[in-house]
Amino acid sequence: MIPAFLSLALGAAAALTALPALAQEVNVYSYRQPELIAPLVDAFTEETGIAVNVAHLDKGLVERLKAEGERSPADLVFTVDISRLSAVVEAGLTQPVTSDTLTENVPAIYRDPDGHWYGLTTRARVVYASKERVPESAVTTYEDLANPKWEGRVCTRSGLHPYNVALTAAVLHHHGAEGTKAWLEGLKSNLARKPQGNDRAQVKAIWAGECDIALGNTYYMGKMLADEEQKAWADAVRIVFPEFEDGGTHVNISGVALTKSAPNRENAVKLMEFLTSPKAQEIYAEANYEYPIAPGTEPADLVASWGDFTADDVNLMSLAGNRPEALKLTEEVDFDG
């Protein structure tokens, strides 16, 4: 009997292809860590009796689906970042889903207008600021990060990483190409070191005194607080929710899409609807230290303690469309150089 939850590394993902077709199952390719989605799929199976088989991939999801074609066993794709969701859609590997439940549970700005993907949770791209060296309210906008007052005081991961590319795409939306290039140049001139490491590495650098502020996603605070070694890094900073001068705080999403070849389409749609339900949203958001998006849902107490913010109201598909230009400008200024 196939277990309710399978965690498969990329090298073993071919085993999913060999699974026999069963009437009550859903097959998922996921960029999300298995332990983060296990509570969700377990709850879905308990409620519906439908088994969920998950292949965890570190990379190459689009390439794998292309290679498998119509023979692919995958019904759903789980991933983070609008650029990764849009890449699957642009490759022609998804199909639209029309569902009253999904449209009721997922606000319009967090779903594809044509129904090819639906958001599940959001995370904000924020500033981590030193409690010792950065006064309250010293940072209020993303534009301010390019202010010369921060010269030699900013840390960030690569400007070419999807999280930062998405933020740059948002700057493009608000300020156009010329303003975005100037912002990137100003931000680069304020860096304390060359972009490197992940978001947690930037907080560690603040703790170590290498810089005073850093860009990062909100959920990393929860992850650091849960890690005995990294808790000291987290305790050294506060989360600040910058806004655009003519907008709100930049957010990105985790999301789900139905594959074009889905062999278990009906069960897959049931799982999509379950994932966007208030019950599942709160399970998912708490496990990931993210924000649920279904109407009437609330974040976990720890996440709520970080403060309130107003999300930028641009549709994420608009930001996905800005991604090529954002990459081009980031390379033009040699941001990582």
CATH 3.40.190.10 in the chain: give the residue spans.
7-122+252-299, 123-250+309-332
Distance CA 175, CA 169 (A): 10
Distance CA 254, CA 123 (A): 8
Q: What angle do CA 243, 246, 247 make, to 5 degrees?
A: 50
Instruction: Tell the residue number behind the tokens 């939850």, with chain if given.
Output: 5
pLDDT at 7: 38
Distance CA 257, CA 95 (A): 8
The pTM of the full predicted model, rounded to 2 decimals, is 0.87
Distance CA 57, CA 30 (A): 6
Q: What is the distance of C-alpha 178 from the center of its chain?
A: 27
Element at 30 (helix H, strand E)? strand 25-30
CATH topology (fold) of 123-250+309-332? D-Maltodextrin-Binding Protein; domain 2 (3.40.190)
CATH topology (fold) of 7-122+252-299? D-Maltodextrin-Binding Protein; domain 2 (3.40.190)
Residue 255's alpha-carbon distances to 60, 105, 173, 332, in angstroms, are 17, 13, 22, 31
pLDDT at 23: 56
Q: If we measure between CA atoms, which residue out of 198, 232, 193, 236 comes closest to residue 215?
A: 198
pLDDT at 284: 83
Q: If we measure between CA atoms, which residue out of 77, 40, 4, 34 comes closest to residue 286?
A: 40
Distance CA 22, CA 132 (A): 58
Instruction: Tell the residue number behind the tokens 């500033």, with chain if given.
Output: 127
Q: Which two tokens stand for residue 7?
A: 């965690």
AA letter at 147:
N
Q: Which two tokens stand for residue 168?
A: 């740059």
Distance CA 23, CA 250 (A): 41
Distance CA 4, CA 34 (A): 12
Element at 281 (helix H, strand E)? helix 278-288
Distance CA 212, CA 225 (A): 19
Distance CA 45, CA 5 (A): 9
The bridge status of strand 25-30 relative to strand 51-56 is: parallel
Burial class (CB in 10 A: 0-12, 13-18, 19+), 63: exposed
pLDDT at 237: 98
From first to last of its 337 residues, what are the pLDDT tens digits of the chain?
A: 334 433 333 343 443 444 444 459 999 999 887 787 888 899 999 999 999 999 999 889 999 999 999 999 999 999 988 888 999 999 999 999 999 999 999 999 999 999 999 999 999 999 999 999 999 999 999 999 999 999 999 999 999 999 999 999 999 999 999 999 999 999 999 999 999 999 999 999 999 999 999 999 999 999 999 999 999 999 999 999 999 999 999 999 999 999 999 999 999 999 999 999 998 988 888 888 999 999 999 999 999 999 999 999 988 888 989 999 999 999 999 999 9
